[in-house]
A and B are shown apart, each in its own frame.
Chain A
Amino acid sequence: MKTRREFIKVSTIGAGGLAAAGGLLTALPIKDIFGQSETVENLKSNANKQLPTYCEICFWQCAAWVNTDEDGEIKSIIGNNDDPHCNGRLCPRGTAGVGMYKDEDRLKNPKLRTTVNGKQVFKDVSWDEAFDFIAEKMNKIKEEHGPECTALFTHGSGGKFLGHMLKAFGSSNIAAPSYAQCRGPREVGFIATYGAGIGSPEPTDIRDSRCLVLIGSHIGENMHNGQVQEMSDMIRNDATIITVDPRFSTAASKSKFWLPIKPATDLALLLAWIHEIIYNDYYDKAYIEKYAYGFEELKAHVKNFTPEWAYGITTIEPKVIRETAREMRNSAPSVIIHPGRHVTWYGDDTQRLRAVAILNALLGSWGRRGGFYNPEGLSLLKYPSPKYPKPKKDWRDAFPGKFKLADLALASGMCDASVPSLSRDCSIKAWIVNGTNLIETLPNQANTLKAIEALDLLVVIDTMPMEITGYADIILPECTYLERYDTVRTSAHRIPTLALRMPAHKPLYDSKPDWWIAKELGTRLGLEEYFGYENIEEMLDWQLKEVGSSLEEMQKIGVKKLDREYPDLYFLNGEDYEFNTNTGKIELYSTALEAEGFDPMPKYTAHPEPDPRFYRLNYGRAPMHTFSRTTNNPQLFDLMEENMVWVNPKVAKEWYLKNGQEVWLENQDGIVSDFSIKVRITERIRFDSVYMVHGFGHTRKQLSRAYGRGASDTQLITNVMLDPVMGGTGMRGNFVTFHTEEPERLNKNIKTDSTKVEGGKA
């Protein structure tokens, strides 16, 4: 079927190929971010330097030094010793950051969708042309439907500038998939309990902890750098790690206790632990008495949730549940039931994270050494600009009365609000998508494509030709973090720090930084008064001088460590404290959830189980990749070229599968993976599940290395279990079966391109 917006797979024609497009390549005269003009001397002046940056390969944002060689070319990236996020040691992805910069598949110039001989292709255009095109479309949408019918999906530092532009334009539809597709339930669960979310980096005092409980969280495979480092400290200190996971994760292999739980039953285990801790008087009485609300209700609520009860559900033996509960008590309050990060699993995730928060409260670990510390950061003043216009509507109008407890916008919600509906006066008509490959980050691809199909404008700003660019009307090439300034990193930690990112090289090709894109596009939209600075250096210098530093100083030191203003790193050792909840207490019994009609205390509900010959699809991380963002990075590709599907030997035997054999996966809805995936037969996975690393199976041929390598789990995630509390998209209720031959596709698949790249390295 032809759609209005065909997925453009390969065809890009240069301006030369179009008679009518002559002269389109003339670049805009822009000021080079190094100085006034782009001369060879300017580049040489960057030779043999150490320039500060903070990493953009994942959200941990480790501060680093970029080393250049005698030609001013980027040579290596090394962690900054002063940075508490990394302590001078980057993870493999950060170390391989140069690969992102050097990747020859990068987006090189702006591209506009056009039709040539009845076929949709991209043609190269100038930045001027690109901005004019976008501004005209956006102004038209503003006129016809209001500025609120535009939206920004963003992940990464540059998005702040685009967000500023969109707010100035009049829309508040700004979301990152890292909320509703990832950590949202954790924030809401903790806000409901403590009146404060977890934030990033997590303020878990792992370094000083005596007991760390990981529930499906695979630290060490997720290289959240500081946490990996601190977990290592724990192992060195012989502290206890308890890992709950149906898969023998790397963390499980380092743990004193591994609880190989039946998937989807974690909440039952948590409730049994709460039961044990309350009914054995293991809990911190003074702490609960002083700080908590609803203890008696909780005690009554968990009365029957005994280890024996949980055993039947979780397959974890009662004596193990008892022993681990004791272990937690023995370490309390220096114990962390880790809130995890990607927690959108089964749709009752906010409630599961509530149970995690409650368990921490009972052990008195919130605000205590070895538990959760109180992070402190510094916020910089916003560069002076006019007030934003007040939007009259937003994505929430598509969900009347729902998800009120979501503290941030839902990317999936904005996507749904873009699907035309008779009951609303207008849907979202334009998307700006920045640094997030929505095709791979939002579950239920069919729905994402339905929304995209209905858009009037899809602008994609990225460094790489990700799947989402194939659906764009216009593609804007963003330069990598190594080639740009960004906002100063101000994230909160044990002490406040500032970290600067500055360009170590001028942007390659015709790529540009987001701050510049936002300012230029904003100017085209008549919003120049919101961008009062000539260039970003001026803005950063102003902001830094306001806090007693300067751009010059930060260029030299990269990271500035500051003293805490308040000596309250551990703040619940008997001090009076008013929590930001309705009762001013830690709410074991949540009045906020109750007011919205939800269970005030978490309950276990059984989730669907796989049919015979189907296996639960679990997915996760490998330490060398950040999902689809890094799979084409030449250095990281070299470390891990593709994902494999992990299969227990018993299952392999039943299916006559061999190690390394290519299989196709089909899910419960008849969706077959675009590409085959190799089998890894391993004892590390339970018999009722399979596991694969997320981010592979790219369908876009421009990703010359990653194309067709491995399979995409997202494609197989068509069953979404929505969290009624905050709209998180639970993605672990999908089941797959194997095909050893490529099966006929029953037209249910969205894409049918399944050409596998042959050959490749052995």
Chain B
Amino acid sequence: MAIDTNLCVGCSDCVVACQVENNVPVGYARDWVVEVVEGTYPNLAIELRSERCNHCDNSPCVRACPTGASHYAEGGIVLVTPDECIGCAACIESCPYDARFTHPDGYADKCTFCIHRVQNGQDPACVAVCPTTCMTFGDMDDPNSEISKIVRSRKSKVLAAEAGTGPNIYYLTK
């Protein structure tokens, strides 16, 4: 997934759309918006970022999971099987992005990239709703995909690169 921080206005529509789509209980969220302000008045810059699970290639959460509930699904999407999760929270501790939380029903929960939609050929709910169209979802392994082209042509960064988890969300910057 690529998210253009120049376009994002921080409206949090992605958060609501996800909550509605995935029945996330009120008070919890699988995605969230971060605002970083830099500089002093009047020389200022703001970066707005919609954040979520990075579906890392080398996921510490999958490694940390004692039961195999956390696993890689089709296309590298990192998922949790609620039935197999014992709620030990080791994965929550291990995630450098703080992307996981304990669902009130006791299992670890987080973004699924809306795999149920993606399998139907739809974009994840956050991508589909964004009024600024700042997000692009697709296959990074396919060099001709829209997202590969965007990431190639723009300056981008990943978060907490130093953690070496191989994150898959690219933040496009100026």
Contact = CB atoms under 8 A, between A and B. Distances in A.
Given A248-B44, A260-B42, A623 B12 contact: yes
A91 interface: yes
A78 B20 CA distance: 10
Contact of B9 (A96, A623, A635): A623
Given A220-B9, A623-B12, 5 more contacts: A91-B11, A228-B9, A232-B133, A236-B7, A623-B9
Contacts of B129: 78-79, 89-90, 95
B39 interface: yes
Interface string A605-638: 0000000000000000001100000000011101
B21 interface: yes
Interface residues on B, range: 20 to 34
B44 A229 contact: no
Interface in A581-617: none
A623 B41 contact: no
A319 B39 CA distance: 22
Contacts of A288: none
Nearest to A682: B37
A519 interface: no
A634 B25 CA distance: 11
B166 interface: no
Contacts of A420: none
Given A229-B131, A634-B26, A253 B12 contact: no
B132 interface: yes
Interface string B118-144: 000000000011111110000000000
B28 to A, nearest CB: 9
A223 B131 CA distance: 9
A95 B20 contact: yes
A181 B144 CA distance: 52
A95 B45 CA distance: 29
B48 interface: yes
Given A248-B42, A260-B41, A635 B48 contact: no
Contacts of A254: 6, 9
Contacts of B48: 250, 253
Nearest to A233: B133
Nearest to B133: A232
Given A95-B16, A260-B41, A761-B27, A624 B11 contact: yes
A639 B6 contact: no
Contacts of B26: 634-635, 638
A89 B44 contact: no
Interface string B12-49: 11011101110000110100000001011110111010
A639 B12 contact: yes
Most buried by A among B11, B48, B133: B11
Contacts of A250: 9-10, 46, 48
A619 to B, nearest CB: 19
A152 B153 CA distance: 56
Contacts of B17: 95
A636 B44 CA distance: 28
26 contacts: A76-B21, A89-B133, A91-B11, A92-B11, A95-B13, A96-B16, A220-B11, A223-B11, A228-B9, A228-B132, A229-B131, A229-B132, A232-B133, A236-B7, A248-B37, A250-B48, A623-B11, A623-B13, A634-B26, A635-B16, A635-B19, A635-B26, A638-B19, A638-B26, A683-B39, A684-B46
Interface of B: 6-7, 9-13, 15-17, 19-21, 26-27, 29, 37, 39-42, 44-46, 48, 128-134
Contact of A683 (B6, B20, B41): B41
B44 A683 contact: yes
Contacts of A228: 9, 11, 131-132
A564 B19 CA distance: 39
A648 B40 CA distance: 10
A684 B44 contact: yes
Contact of B12 (A90, A624, A648): A624
B46 A686 contact: no
Contact of B42 (A223, A235, A258, A635): A258
Contacts of B19: 635, 638
Contacts of A221: 9
Nearest to B19: A635
B128 to A, nearest CB: 8
A624 B12 CA distance: 7
Most buried by B among A75, A89, A684: A89
B34 to A, nearest CB: 14
Contacts of B12: 92, 623-624, 639
Nearest to B27: A638
Interface residues of A, number: 43
Contact of A248 (B27, B46, B132): B46
Contacts of A248: 37, 41-42, 44, 46
Contacts of A86: 131
B16 A229 contact: no
A223 B11 CA distance: 8
Contacts of B41: 248, 260, 648, 683-687
A221 B48 CA distance: 13
Interface string A311-323: 0000000000000
A623 B33 CA distance: 12
Given A260-B41, A683-B40, A92 B16 contact: yes
A98 B11 CA distance: 18
A229 B133 contact: yes
Contacts of A91: 11, 13, 131
A253 B44 contact: yes
A712 interface: no
A647 B153 CA distance: 39
A734 interface: no
Contacts of A687: 41
Q: 10 nearest interchain CB pairs? A: A220-B9, A623-B11, A253-B46, A232-B132, A92-B13, A260-B42, A95-B16, A96-B16, A683-B41, A76-B20
A86 B13 CA distance: 13
Contacts of A220: 9-11
Contacts of B133: 89, 229, 232
Nearest to A686: B41
A562 to B, nearest CB: 25
A91 B7 CA distance: 15
A86 B131 CA distance: 8
Given A76-B20, A95-B129, A232-B132, A90 B42 contact: no
Interface string A89-111: 11110011010000000000000
Contacts of A260: 41-42
Nearest to B45: A253
